[in-house]
């Protein structure tokens, strides 16, 4: 493997002294890029995910076109429920649909947790192909969905504003919920370790729906499983945990084996630093909708964000995935402002 020419992201996660923070964007490989849209018109979603050459091409687009400091593999968090034997449908613009959901113990027992690497071989192939194509230009990020977030989809069957069914399942059948969460966790650990062996320099765990939980319920249904993943996978590569909406969990998670914590825009940089005692690298937290503002405003607010976080132990990113209607030059302005930053 070629040496990394740009290792800013890994250095930020190690807490090394940097003159500017690294920058990448969640969902950077995708829907706002004209070249991605062309591929989307030709191939359905899971064809794009499961064809390593296509997924590799999509992963590289933002590196080539927007100039980010890292590539994140083009994939989906729902490949895990798929590999566990559940059917996952995806209609463009409509979000995921799982026609048969987990309702009882028999459904949980039926989930497959063996041969993770073989079942998800296409992700490993995409990673090794992309690693080769990147040729050391920037680090490569692998990822997975967090157990709580995957439970939400597996029990609810689709996206939801409240995930009442998923929460009802946990609150009325807690022992089954933990059995399911543990099964997802075991599979996710195997999956992420396989990703690091296939070429991922670091991994991120997306807990997109953890903010649905109260602080007390987060400690029961999300935190123990995030910690297990960070402990097991952190031995192989740096781990960034992103519990969206769960600012209340930052203090606990900053004492974990994770190297970084992703932040949404619901808290200030100073509060995030205070809660984490400056012990861990923070990532975020620009509101993606702000990329629709005029470019001079984007530049001004990005500078203010970096001033507030500081250049050490910080990764500039959005507080959630980039929106499909963001103009490419606005995304580029975000990235360029970080790259031009100097105190």
Instruction: Check if 225 is active-site.
Output: no
Whole-number Å distance between alpha carbons of 233 and 192 = 7
> Which residues 6+ apart lie within 8 Å of 249 measured at CB?
210, 215, 218, 219, 222, 223, 243
Strands 140-145 and 71-72: parallel
Instruction: Check if 273 is active-site.
Output: no
Catalytic residue among 11, 40, 217, 248: 40
Instruction: Check if 20 is active-site.
Output: no
Whole-number Å distance between alpha carbons of 188 and 151 = 12
Whole-number Å distance between alpha carbons of 296 and 165 = 44
- Count how many residues are written for the chain: 343
Catalytic residue among 31, 35, 252, 287: 31
Q: Is 153 annotated as a binding residue?
A: yes
Contact status, residue 98 vs residue 153, Cβ threshold 8 Å: yes
DSSP H or E run through 306: helix 295-309
Q: Is 46 annotated as a binding residue?
A: yes
Catalytic residue among 153, 191, 221, 225: 153
Catalytic residue among 76, 207, 264, 336: 76
Q: Is 35 annotated as a binding residue?
A: no
Q: Is 29 annotated as a binding residue?
A: yes
Instruction: Check if 153 is active-site.
Output: yes
Catalytic residue among 11, 27, 137, 186: 27
Instruction: Check if 76 is active-site.
Output: yes
Q: Is 31 annotated as a binding residue?
A: yes
Whole-number Å distance between alpha carbons of 186 and 198 = 19
Q: DSSP letter at 320?
A: S
Q: Is 28 annotated as a binding residue?
A: yes
Q: Is 289 annotated as a binding residue?
A: no
Q: Is 199 annotated as a binding residue?
A: no
Q: Which residues are marked as active site? A: 27, 31, 40, 76, 153
Point out the annotated binding site: 27-31, 46, 76, 153, 208, 320
Point out the annotated binding site for substrate: 27-31, 46, 76, 153, 208, 320
């Amino acid at each position: 493997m070629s040496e990394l020419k740009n290792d800013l992201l890994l250095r930020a996660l190690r807490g090394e002294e940097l003159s500017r923070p690294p920058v990448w964007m969640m969902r950077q490989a995708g829907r706002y890029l004209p070249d991605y849209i062309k591929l989307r018109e030709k191939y359905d979603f899971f064809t794009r995910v499961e064809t390593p050459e296509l997924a590799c091409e999509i992963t590289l687009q933002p590196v080539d076109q927007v100039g980010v400091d890292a590539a994140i593999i083009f994939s989906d968090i729902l490949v895990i429920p798929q590999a566990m034997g559940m059917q996952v449908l995806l209609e463009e613009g409509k979000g995921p649909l799982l026609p048969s959901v987990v309702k009882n113990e028999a459904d949980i027992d039926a989930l497959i947790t063996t041969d993770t690497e073989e079942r998800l071989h296409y992700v490993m192939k995409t990673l090794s192909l992309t690693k080769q194509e990147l040729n050391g230009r920037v680090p490569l990020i692998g990822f997975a969905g967090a157990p709580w977030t995957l439970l939400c989809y597996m029990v609810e069957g689709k996206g939801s504003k409240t995930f009442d069914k998923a929460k009802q399942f946990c609150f009325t059948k807690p022992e089954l919920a933990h059995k399911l969460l543990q099964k997802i966790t075991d599979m996710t650990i195997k999956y992420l370790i396989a990703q690091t062996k296939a070429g991922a320099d670091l991994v991120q765990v997306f807990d997109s729906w953890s903010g649905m939980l109260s602080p007390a319920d987060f400690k029961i249904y999300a935190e123990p499983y995030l910690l297990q993943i960070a402990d097991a996978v952190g031995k192989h590569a740096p781990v960034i945990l992103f519990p969206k909406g769960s600012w209340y969990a930052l203090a606990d998670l900053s004492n974990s084996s994770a190297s970084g914590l992703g932040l949404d825009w619901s808290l200030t940089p100073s509060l995030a630093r205070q809660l984490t005692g400056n012990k861990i690298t923070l990532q975020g937290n620009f509101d993606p909708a702000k990329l629709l503002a005029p470019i001079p405003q984007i530049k001004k607010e990005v500078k203010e964000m970096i001033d507030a976080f500081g250049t050490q132990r910080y990764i500039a990113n959005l507080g959630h995935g980039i929106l499909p209607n963001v103009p490419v030059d606005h995304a580029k302005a975000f990235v360029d402002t970080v790259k031009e930053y100097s105190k």
